[in-house]
């Protein structure tokens, strides 16, 4: 099977990545990270969320982050849990909002304190109100390949939630392997099941790399025809409400893989590595990205921008 010639990457580091980091960054630093990611060619960036700062203190002051972030040639999205969050997002000038459902009843109740059906009823109002103001809405589905509390998740349930999100007006649905338990064939079958009720161009994938399967899972989904991939710079993140969840698949690793496959992303790997190095310096941690680690081995420091010891000119996707 062939893969898409072009893949759109949705950078989730400034929200899904930072929300699970111990070091809390100021709005100014978060905005600078977004600016660097945009300069690398990422045109869709999750900038933050309007959830309770008590529950997720890392996302406090998202309105200030949006006010400081670049707005040209980039679409900034924010997560909103309800109409109150939407009002804050609209006031802050968000380009896009996202709502967060689950394919697991137990996870839904522990994460957002309501059943799946109750969450969809709530989100239908949020999406309708956002569209009334001309703001696009994206739908997330967590635990599509496994729940930290209940184990396996039925792909039919994933398809049902995806269908509901699209019917209420979401332009796209992102399928999230929240705890990273998926493998290529289950991931592929899950996407194929969802594709029965949703056009492939409205499906995105969102893999965490807990068991090292994220890139393989992405490739399996590309073969089905998916062309939108969520990822997080430097592999930042996890989920504060999902025990055992590792970080998101690293954007650097996704871009490297796609470049070597001859797939266009519009992203500069060098500029992306610089953005990841900046984030890791501010967070006082090493990158989880294998590509960033490989470049660091050449240059000496995992939190420094890429050096001149890049791949030789003869090293290209046809080797």
* 279-290: pLDDT as tens digits: 999 999 999 999
Asked if 208 and 178 count as a contact pair (C-beta separation under 8 A), the reply is: yes
For residue 1, being part of any structural domain is answered with no
Structural domains in the chain (count): 1
Query: How many whole angstroms separate alpha carbon 153 and alpha carbon 151?
Result: 7
Per the structure, the complete domain to which residue 192 belongs is given by 8-299
DSSP state of 115: -
Which pLDDT score is estimated for 247? 82
Which pLDDT score is estimated for 312? 41
Confidence check: pLDDT of 78 > 80: yes
For residue 315, being part of any structural domain is answered with no
Confidence of residue 238 (pLDDT cuts 50, 70, 90): low
Which tokens belong to 216? 């393989």
pTM of the model: 0.93
Query: How many whole angstroms separate alpha carbon 43 and alpha carbon 16?
Result: 17
Confidence check: pLDDT of 67 > 50: yes
Mean pLDDT (the chain) is 92
Which tokens belong to 192? 């194929």
Which pLDDT score is estimated for 307? 61
For residue 304, being part of any structural domain is answered with no
For residue 2, being part of any structural domain is answered with no
Catalytic residue among 143, 147, 221, 239: 239
User: What's the CATH number where 102 sits?
Assistant: 3.20.20.70
* 38-60: pLDDT as tens digits: 999 999 999 999 999 999 999 99
Query: How many whole angstroms separate alpha carbon 273 and alpha carbon 276?
Result: 5
* 120-150: pLDDT as tens digits: 999 999 999 999 999 999 999 999 999 999 9
To the nearest 10°, report the CA torsion of 176, 181, 185, 191. -10
For residue 55, being part of any structural domain is answered with yes
For residue 317, being part of any structural domain is answered with no
For residue 307, being part of any structural domain is answered with no
For residue 63, being part of any structural domain is answered with yes
Which pLDDT score is estimated for 319? 37
Which pLDDT score is estimated for 303? 59
Is 239 labeled as catalytic in the residue annotation?
A: yes
């Amino acid at each position: 099977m062939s893969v898409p010639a072009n893949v759109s990457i949705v950078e989730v580091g400034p929200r899904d990545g930072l929300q699970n980091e111990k070091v809390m960054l100021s709005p100014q630093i978060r905005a600078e990270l977004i600016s660097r990611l945009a300069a690398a060619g990422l045109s869709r960036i999750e900038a933050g969320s309007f959830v309770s700062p008590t529950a997720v203190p890392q996302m406090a002051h998202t309105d200030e982050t949006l006010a400081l972030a670049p707005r040209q040639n980039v679409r900034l999205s924010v997560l909103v849990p309800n109409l109150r969050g939407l009002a804050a997002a609209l006031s802050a000038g968000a380009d896009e909002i996202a709502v967060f459902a689950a394919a697991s009843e137990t996870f839904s109740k522990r994460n957002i304190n309501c059943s799946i059906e109750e969450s969809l009823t709530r989100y239908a109002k949020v999406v309708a109100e956002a569209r009334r103001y001309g703001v696009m809405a994206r739908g997330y589905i967590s635990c599509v390949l496994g729940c930290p509390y209940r184990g396996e998740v039925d792909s039919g349930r994933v398809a049902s939630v995806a269908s509901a999100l699209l019917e209420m007006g979401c332009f796209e649905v992102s399928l999230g392997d929240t705890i990273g338990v998926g493998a290529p064939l289950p991931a592929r079958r899950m996407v194929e099941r969802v594709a029965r009720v949703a056009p492939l161009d409205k499906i995105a994938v969102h893999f965490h790399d807990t068991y090292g399967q994220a890139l393989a899972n992405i490739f399996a989904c590309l073969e089905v025809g998916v062309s939108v991939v969520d990822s997080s710079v430097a592999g930042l993140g996890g989920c504060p409400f999902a025990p055992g969840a590792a970080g998101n698949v690293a954007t650097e690793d996704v871009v490297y893989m796609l470049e070597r496959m001859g797939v266009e992303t519009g992203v500069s790997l060098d500029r992306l590595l610089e953005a990841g190095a900046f984030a890791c310096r501010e967070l006082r941690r090493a990158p989880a990205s294998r590509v960033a680690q490989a470049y660091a081995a050449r240059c000496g420091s995992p939190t420094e921008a890429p050096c001149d010891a890049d791949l030789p000119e003869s090293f290209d996707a046809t080797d």
